[in-house]
A and B are shown apart, each in its own frame.
Chain A
Amino acid sequence: MKTYLPARFRVRRDDERCIRCRVCERQCGFDVHHYDEEDDSLYCDDEKCVACHRCVVFCPTGALTVEKNPLSYRENYSWRPEAIEDLMKQAETGGILLTGMGNDKPYPIYWDKLLLNASQVTNPSIDPLREPMELRTYLGRKPDRIDLAAGNIGRWTRRAPQVAIETPIMFSAISYGAISLNVQESLARAATEYGTFFNTGEGGLHKSLYKYSDNAIVQVASGRFGVHQEYLDAARVVEIKIGQGAKPGIGGHLPGEKVSAEVAATRMIPRGTDALSPAPHHDIYSIEDLSQLIYALKEATNYTKPISVKIAAVHNSAAIASGIVRAGADIVAIDGIRGATGAAPKIIRDNVGIPIELAIAAVDSRLRAEGIRNQASLVAAGGVRNSADVIKAIALGADAVYIGSAALIAMGCHVCQACYTGRCSWGIATTDDYLMKRINPNIASRRLTNLLRGWSLEIKEMLGGMGINALESLRGNRHHLRGVGLSDTELEILGVRMAGS
């Protein structure tokens, strides 16, 4: 069927600069560039371009650029180009539209409407260059009280397992299969070097990554891929994946063509079969059932590891989180509407869930009101772009954050949203042998530790400015936030006051 879809981008080649080295042709995962020997010239299939900029960055003479197709549609507020093009694509295929990365729609980003405080005169600020600043964070259930019985002074009677991270930033769950082994190794190595955690996602832990298991959070999702005793024993934290911000309420399908021999071995399924993660866990239809799985995992790991439960931020997150804590979870991870994915139905990614900022505030407030905030750590995910977002998340009530997109961007991702094709030119969201070599774990892990270091330094500067020398003094301390451009209801839910008040 002839497609009625116009190209979204145009590749511009400056023929005077082009030296016919054909780097662009080799680098493009989408076959945009073609060399014609007879003409000694390079041509482009613009309609295949996803604007990932791989060719632009690697062109040695700077001959390439990618621009938006300037094609004009008749102005129409309702039938915008995206709506027309999505519809045509479905008319041509009859399928569900897929996309990658996080929600790109202009929903409010509350990070940008929250401002941090700083000390002036009355409460001196602290210079983190000369004074110790504490970013170390302990995740896990904290005791309800300190037992002061004789001989036991200051020691907790029954301390639940704790894990320490040196900075409140962990790498989000990204499964092997959605990303290459090299990418997961880069995340694992950076987490190990910096003293934080990476998360296996639901695709299992490849045998070559067991050496990083001291810094691994392993997931147990509805498909139970690669879940076995050794996997549970290796991890520091076991996370039950209920939902994901990019696709709340639905499962996942890793198509058979991405299930290579190594992916199959890690997921413990036959090569080439679809890996279907059903939407629900078939043993969890209630909070009581969730509790049963939490304690099954505690039994399976002999109560030595915190059990985390990850949910997508949805309308009733506060009540759900309360249930999760009462079910026995040691960590509650919440993924907001801007959380990313390797593949999700576009209609779900763009329309389901709520912003993480509101969810953190609502959950933290609810757990405090019920007197159970100490019983679980709160990890926020979905749309954290910089260190200010991290510190605002903590001031709203999170203990730590997960970063996924930010980590991939650090390794080269240009957020072209074509992860679901498996043809990532940056070698990230692919398991293709040729493409995946583009991520060198030595270099990519350095880029990631650089990111963690840069953000951690900035967090210390901001903390010092507020006159705080330990991150835990900021947790849920919403007096250090003020809102701008927010309605009374938004301010109330966020639990912050208007700037100037």
Chain B
Amino acid sequence: MKMIHAVTALALAIACALPQAADAHKMWIVPSATVLSGDDAWVTVDAAISNDLYYPDHFPAPMDRIEVTAPDGAAVAPENAATGKFRSTFDVHLSRPGTYRIALRNDGVFATYTLAGEKKRWRGTAGELATAIPAAATEVKVSESVSRVESFVTAGATTHGVFKPTNRGLELAPVTHPNDLASGEKATFRLLLDGKPASGIKMTAIAGATRYRDAAGELSATTAADGSFSFTWPAAGMYWMSASAEDNKVSVKPATERRLAYTATLEVLPQ
């Protein structure tokens, strides 16, 4: 179990740390539905790290990093959680109307070093760092990673409470509500970095079901001065929308750089 956890952590680290490429491992959260009606709505959610979207084929996402937030900001406990070989799965009870956020926060420290001529990689928390790297290590490079993977689900009318920024890392501020997306329509969002507009950052969006087509067909946009960017969805489906950035505003002492990532799964419905 411990072993699996360590391997998963490394997979997570790689998924988070590598610059984005169409063929890189992708971390995702995909709900069974994003737009719900009725008085007692539930969704079931898969969370994983994979190559294809949205087919679990690599590692499950760690359940202990899943955070579900109710429309009023309260934490919601995932139900019926299970972690399998390739994916974690859990249910979310939307007991009140409004927009819920299902997020995987993945903040940590990543180090590479050389020990006795051998390249090593380590990932953990800021607290573990001091004892994790042997004193004899050379070429130590420490980076901090702040990453967020999320999706949104709405029962009844859309609300905006869950978009209140935490002012840490990359976050999404909707202009168009992420649960009101339709094919052929333009959707606009804003990207924030530490709560302020994140400009000049490349956003990409890839439609799901990548297994059944030859090319990823990546959409891309660059954030404007106010952090805004837009996509016009060519077809209905689930989209994996992602951005990454680097800076040196580290909060962990020996780290020299900060790697930031934001990913959301958005559902676009037919007209």
Interaction A to B = no
Binding site for A on B (CB under 8 A): none
Binding site for B on A (CB under 8 A): none
